[in-house]
């Protein structure tokens, strides 16, 4: 299969950086995990290929344990892989400066205030205190936490913590944003609020985004394209579904009959995955 | 109708609650402290009663009354001043040395896996061995003066500091390290911005243990080749059956440890105010 689905939608067509194209390119990528010394290596993802075009939002869904998070960790440069992953045309050999990530576990520094957390990436790359502070304030305002600038993470709710996490990831103005089930630990109501919030922020910033999720409605609401992985181990791409819903979207899109249709289709695909290889039964 | 009813009731309810809750709530908030003090008072009272009624022989056990009067005599004597100065010097020098050596060593061992692997067996060996038994050797190496005593104090205190500091650095949350990596932080940057702040509570625990060990060190160091010091005086008093004086010096050493621990708690609270209380 050639990469015919790599559609350039957002007017950045033809731009290249270095020796490759913008966005994320994943080509024949396999990710294995297992202890370094033991022979028991599990192939989580087997020879997967897809692209995320600049400014595109792609959601990666699949049955639990299919290795979608491992794949994302590889794109983040935090897990070794076989094959080729490029971000903004650069091969991923480790964390890349164009990529920011938000993980499920908030990963906020408990000893830093909201502002301190958001400043972290800026300070690390060498911004001076004043610049970092101003930029952090801007980001915190964007996620609606201006009143909580000087609070510590333990004083915030789970939803607020993930807002800080998002602000921290976006503060360094990355070209690419990776999201690993960012709202999975939140309660249903907060999760819905955060999805809408992320939708708004993404539409403002138009970052190239790859998100792993197991919430089908979350994927359909946010993504331009949903990549469905098959059951692991050695999972492959089962199908790719274009979500042809108008932008900008808001939560009303959930009432659109097409939204429901897409959700059903993805649900069907995942259900078929679960059926295909029945769980081992106890004798 | 409803409004007047509730209006009339509200102030009286507040009054009642104010009157009934202030005193008990004051007790409730200080309950642990009060009970702790009560425990000490009860023990002292029991001790005094036993001694007064001759259930136990005050010659061997002294009594709170005798201890207090002995404390007055001792603390106003020039001997006390020399003792406190000597022991204080040993403690401060030894403990400061333990911190200056222990904290960086712990950081290095916690952060660099290979160095840890290299040093760990040695560390385990010295930690498991009775370091007090090194006192004769220390006297041979450093003489009978302040130096050998400070070294023993330091040797006692340094291990909990190293071990806790290293453990704190070593067990930093992997997710936080990944955040640092994601922002392309260098290893040293991650050490400074993630591992060190994260291991502050662990370091504080190590220092707390170190204080106790250092005080043991002060006492033990003064058992051999000393001419002054609180531990020296305690040892002398015991050989002369001055039991009251033994207790006075014991309370000085213990009280010193308690006060230091309380101060450390304060500092710790300020430095780790980000922790969930």
Residues A200, A74 within the same domain: yes
Q: What is the pLDDT of residue A6?
A: 37
Q: By the CB < 8 Å criterion, does B273 face chain A? A: yes
Q: How far apart are CA A30 and CA B43, in angstroms?
A: 70
Q: What is the set of domains in chain B, with CATH numbers?
A: 2-56 (no CATH), 66-271 (1.10.3720.10)
φ/ψ of residue A18, rounded to 5: 60, -130
Q: How far apart are CA B143 and CA A143, in angstroms?
A: 66
**Cβ-contact A8, A21 below 8 angstroms:** no
Q: By the CB < 8 Å criterion, does A173 face chain B? A: no
Q: Do B274 and A153 touch (CB under 8 A)?
A: yes
Within-domain flag for A61: yes
Within-domain flag for A1: no
Gap from B116 CA to chain A (nearest CA, Å): 20
Q: Do A78 and B200 touch (CB under 8 A)?
A: no
Residues A92, A24 within the same domain: yes
Identify the domain boundary among A151, A173, A195.
A173
φ/ψ of residue A32, rounded to 5: -115, 150
Q: Which residue has the higher pLDDT, B7 or B206?
A: B206
Residues A82, A138 within the same domain: no
Gap from B45 CA to chain A (nearest CA, Å): 45
Identify the domain boundary among A146, A173, A200.
A173
Q: Which residue has the tokens 């659109």?
A: A256
Residues A179, A134 within the same domain: no
Chain A residues with beta carbon closer than 8 angstroms to that of B173: 107
ipTM: 0.83
The nearest alpha carbon in chain B to A150 belongs to B274
φ/ψ of residue B185, rounded to 5: -70, 140
Domain count, chain A: 2
Residues A121, A143 within the same domain: yes
Whether residue B11 is predicted with pLDDT greater than 60 in this model: the reply is no
Residues A51, A113 within the same domain: no
Whether residue B197 is predicted with pLDDT greater than 90 in this model: the reply is yes
Gap from B27 CA to chain A (nearest CA, Å): 28
Residues A197, A246 within the same domain: yes
**Cβ-contact A221, A195 below 8 angstroms:** yes
Q: Do B178 and A78 touch (CB under 8 A)?
A: yes
% pLDDT > 90, chain A: 68
Categorise residue A151: left if φ over 0, alpha if ψ from -120 to 50, beta otherwise: beta
Residues A168, A183 within the same domain: no
Chain B residues with beta carbon closer than 8 angstroms to that of A94: 181
Within-domain flag for A6: no
Identify the domain boundary among A147, A173, A199.
A173
The nearest alpha carbon in chain B to A102 belongs to B179
Q: How far apart are CA A214 and CA A60, in angstroms?
A: 8
Bridge-partner residues for A85, per DSSP?
A26
By C-alpha distance, which of B126, B84, B137, B86 is closest to B102? B126
**Cβ-contact A119, A167 below 8 angstroms:** no
Q: How far apart are CA B145 and CA B133, in angstroms?
A: 17
Residues A90, A121 within the same domain: no
Within-domain flag for A266: yes
Mean predicted confidence (pLDDT) in B67-89: 93
**Cβ-contact A164, A113 below 8 angstroms:** no
Q: How far apart are CA A147 and CA A102, in angstroms?
A: 22
Confidence grade of residue B20 (pLDDT, cut at 50, 70, 90):
low
Q: Quick count: other Cβ atoms within 10 Å of Cβ A148?
A: 19
Residues A114, A212 within the same domain: no
- Report, in angstroms and rounded to the nearest whole number, the Rg of chain A calculated over CA atoms: 19
Whether residue B2 is predicted with pLDDT greater than 70 in this model: the reply is no
Q: What is the pLDDT of residue A75?
A: 95
Domain membership of residue A236 as a residue range: 16-98+174-276
Q: Quick count: other Cβ atoms within 10 Å of Cβ B103?
A: 18
pLDDT tens for each residue of B217-269: 999 899 888 889 999 999 999 999 999 999 999 999 999 999 999 999 999 88
Residues A128, A86 within the same domain: no
Angle between helix axes B200-221 and B230-239 (nearest 10 degrees) is 40
Q: Which of A107, A123, A172 sits opposite B178 (nearest CB)?
A: A107
Residues A178, A240 within the same domain: yes
Q: What is the DSSP string of A153-222?
A: GGGS-HHHHHHHHHHHHHHT--SEEEEESTTTTS-HHHHHHHHHHHHHHHHHH--EEEEE-S-HHHHHHH
- CATH number for the domain spanning A207: value is 3.40.50.300
The nearest alpha carbon in chain A to B273 belongs to A111
């Amino acid at each position: 299969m050639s990469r015919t689905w790599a559609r350039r939608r957002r007017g950045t067509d033809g731009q290249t950086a270095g020796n490759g194209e913008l966005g994320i390119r994943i080509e024949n990528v396999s990710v294995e995990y297992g202890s370094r010394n033991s022979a028991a290596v599990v192939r989580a993802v087997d020879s997967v290929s897809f692209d995320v075009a600049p400014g595109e939002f792609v959601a990666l869904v699949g049955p639990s344990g299919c290795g979608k998070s491992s794949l994302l960790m590889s794109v983040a440069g935090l897990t070794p892989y076989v094959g080729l992953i490029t971000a903004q045309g650069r091969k991923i050999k480790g964390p890349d400066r164009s990529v920011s990530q938000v993980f499920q576990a908030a990963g906020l520094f408990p000893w830093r205030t909201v502002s301190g957390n958001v400043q972290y990436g800026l300070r690390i790359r060498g911004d001076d205190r004043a610049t970092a502070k101003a930029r952090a304030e801007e980001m915190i305002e964007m996620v609606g936490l201006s009143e909580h600038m000087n609070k510590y993470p333990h004083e915030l709710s789970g939803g607020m913590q993930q807002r800080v996490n998002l602000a921290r990831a976006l503060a360094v103005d990355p070209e690419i944003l990776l999201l690993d089930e960012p709202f999975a630990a939140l309660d249903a109501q907060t999760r819905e609020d955060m999805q809408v919030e992320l939708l708004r922020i993404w539409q403002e910033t138009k970052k190239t985004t790859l998100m792993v999720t197991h919430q089908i409605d979350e994927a359909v609401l946010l993504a331009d394209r949903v990549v469905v992985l098959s059951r692991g181990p050695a999972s492959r791409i089962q199908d790719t579904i274009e979500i042809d819903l108008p932008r900008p979207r808001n939560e009303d899109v959930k009432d659109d009959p097409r939204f429901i249709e897409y959700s059903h289709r993805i649900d069907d695909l995942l259900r078929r995955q679960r059926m295909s290889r029945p769980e081992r039964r106890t004798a | 109708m409803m409004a007047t009813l509730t209006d009339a009731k509200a102030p009286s309810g507040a009054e009642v609650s104010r009157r009934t809750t202030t005193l008990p709530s004051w007790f409730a908030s200080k309950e642990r402290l009060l009970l702790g003090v009560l425990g000490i008072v009860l023990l002292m009272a029991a001790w005094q009663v036993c001694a007064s009624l001759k259930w136990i022989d005050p010659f061997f056990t002294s009594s709170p009354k005798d201890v207090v009067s002995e404390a007055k005599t001792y603390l106003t004597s020039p001997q006390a001043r020399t003792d406190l100065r000597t022991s204080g010097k040993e403690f401060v020098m030894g403990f400061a040395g333990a911190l200056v050596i222990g904290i960086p060593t712990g950081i290095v061992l916690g952060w660099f896996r290979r160095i840890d692997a290299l040093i760990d067996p040695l560390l385990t060996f010295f930690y498991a061995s009775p370091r007090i038994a090194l006192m004769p050797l220390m006297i041979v190496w450093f003489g009978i003066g302040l130096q050998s005593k400070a070294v023993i104090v330091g040797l006692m205190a340094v291990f909990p500091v190293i071990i806790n500091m290293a453990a704190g650095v070593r067990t930093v949350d992997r997710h936080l390290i990944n955040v640092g990596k994601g922002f392309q932080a260098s290893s040293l940057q991650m050490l400074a911005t993630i591992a060190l702040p994260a291991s502050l509570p662990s370091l504080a625990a190590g220092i707390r243990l170190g204080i106790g060990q250092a005080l043991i060190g002060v006492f033990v160091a003064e058992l051999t080749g000393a001419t002054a010091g609180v531990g020296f005086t305690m040892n002398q008093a015991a050989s002369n059956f001055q039991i009251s004086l033994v207790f006075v010096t014991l309370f000085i050493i213990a009280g010193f440890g308690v006060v230091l621990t309380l101060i450390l708690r304060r500092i710790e609270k300020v430095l780790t105010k980000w922790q969930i209380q």
